[in-house]
Amino acid sequence: MTTPDDLKFQEFDEATDLLSADPGATTLSVSNTGTPPATGDVKLDLSEDEEGQEENSELLGRDKPTGGFWTFEYYQSFFNVDTMQVLDRIKGSVMPLPGRNFVRHHIRSNPDLYGPFWICATLVFSVAISGNLSTFLSQMGNPHYHYRPQFHRVTIAAVAVFLYAWLVPLCLWGFLAWRQGTERQIGGYTFLETVCVYGYSLFVYIPTSVLWIIPFEWLQWLLILVAMVISGSLLVVTFWPVVRDDTKLTAFATMITIVVLHALLAIGCKMYFFQTAVQMPTPTLAPPSSNNTVLLTSAAKSH
């Protein structure tokens, strides 16, 4: 019959021989206390700070573009976004909230050029096509008007939109970097983040340009006002935390310049692409007078 002593763990003879050969060797016993051995030859312990640094380095290494700027992989990283991220950023651009910075809450984790590029391209075609349709609808009842597609409007819209979406952010980024000095503030934005903000701020003009087809002048100007308020609020809420630490004159002058340039783009598109053609009056032939009738009769008799 098995006794309780038989159920106890028995030490192996090899372990006994090793201990007898080297009495100073370190032993490790498994117990329920869960305390690590006091001494040991190898110790591996990563602190929380080191683990956080490793995680941050992995994230930074993943977000950094690989290769030089002349390679395709370098620019491919700027388009590494999914549909949900783009939709979330579009939603944030049309619903700007005070105190909710668009860059820090939507862009800073992964700034992209995918959304701004396609927003600008879509805006170019929507403005050009809607402008042609608006002109056609406004002159539909004029018998002396002959519709001709104006394809040059696509080129003009592309130059205006893409120059605004790239040149204005470049000038603003350079100005802010110069005002902040060589050591940029923590809240400063990179050039890619600045371009991203301006690109997404133009999304509200896409549905606005489609609604401009409705041939009512007062409605078109009302839509422009609403679109300028929405997109301008996004720019003000985003860039005000960066310039507010500057002098009051410089801060307010910078914000006014940003809003004015943004308004000029919308007003310029409205005045050029959606101008109502002036209907020329129909020429009428005046009835011949009595004197002319007598002269014509006498001339006929003489012949």
Average pLDDT, stretch 254-280? 81
At 205 the pLDDT is 94
| Structural domains of the chain, count | 1
- Other beta carbons less than 10 A from residue 63's beta carbon: 12
* Higher per-residue pLDDT: 295 or 166: 166
Residue 40: pLDDT over 60: no
In this structure, the number of other CB atoms found within 10 A of the CB of residue 171 comes to 13
- The Cα–Cα gap between 50 and 158 comes to 49
| Coil, helix or strand at residue 85 | helix
With contact defined as beta carbons under 8 Å apart, do 124 and 160 qualify? no
For the stretch 123-182, pLDDT in tens is 999 999 988 888 778 777 777 777 777 788 899 999 999 999 999 999 999 888 887 764
What pLDDT is stored for residue 18 in this prediction? 52
Instruction: Write out pLDDT tens, residues 45-103.
Output: 434 443 443 344 333 334 455 556 666 676 677 788 888 989 999 998 998 888 788 88
Phi, psi at residue 130, to the nearest 5°? -65, -35
What's the mean pLDDT when you consider all of the chain?
74
Query: 291 or 254: whose pLDDT is higher?
Result: 254
User: Is 215 domain-assigned?
Assistant: yes
User: For residue 5, what pLDDT band results from cuts at 50, 70 and 90?
Assistant: low
Q: Is 1 inside a domain boundary?
A: no
The answer to whether 237 and 98 are in contact (CB under 8 A) is yes
Q: Running DSSP on this structure, what letter comes out for residue 131?
A: H
Is 86 a member of any domain? yes
**pLDDT for 60:** 36
Q: What is the mean pLDDT of residues 267-273?
A: 88
Predicted local confidence at residue 194, as pLDDT: 92
| Three-state DSSP state, 4 | helix
Say which residues have a Cβ less than 8 Å from residue 285's Cβ, sequence separation at least 6.
none
Contact call for residues 206 and 128 (beta carbons, < 8 A): no
pLDDT of residue 231: 92
Q: Is residue 161 part of a domain?
A: yes
Position 10 in a domain: no
- What pLDDT score does 277 carry? 47
Closest Cα to residue 169, out of 225, 267, 89, 242? 242
pLDDT of residue 111: 85
Handedness of CA 128, 129, 130, 135 (dihedral sign): positive
How far are the Cα atoms of 22, 168, 204, 302 from residue 12, in angstroms, in the given order? 16, 80, 79, 151
Domain that includes residue 200, residue range: 65-273
Over residues 285-291, mean pLDDT: 49
Q: For 212-248, what is each residue's pLDDT tens digit?
A: 888 788 888 999 999 999 999 999 999 998 888 888 8
Torsion of the alpha carbons at 35, 38, 41 and 42, rounded to the nearest 10: 40
Helix, strand, coil % in the chain, rounded to nearest 5: 65, 0, 35
In a domain, residue 29? The reply is no
In a domain, 30, yes or no: no
Q: Calculate the CA 164 to chain-centre distance.
A: 13
**Range with the lowest mean pLDDT among 67-76, 104-113, 294-303?**
294-303
- Separation of alpha carbons 66 and 277, rounded Å: 53
pLDDT, position 20: 55
Q: How confident is the model at residue 257 (pLDDT cuts 50, 70, 90)?
A: very high
Q: Report residue 104 as tokens.
A: 């820090």
Record the pTM.
Answer: 0.66
Cα(170)–Cα(168) distance, rounded to whole angstroms? 5
**Residue 118 belongs to some domain of the structure:** yes
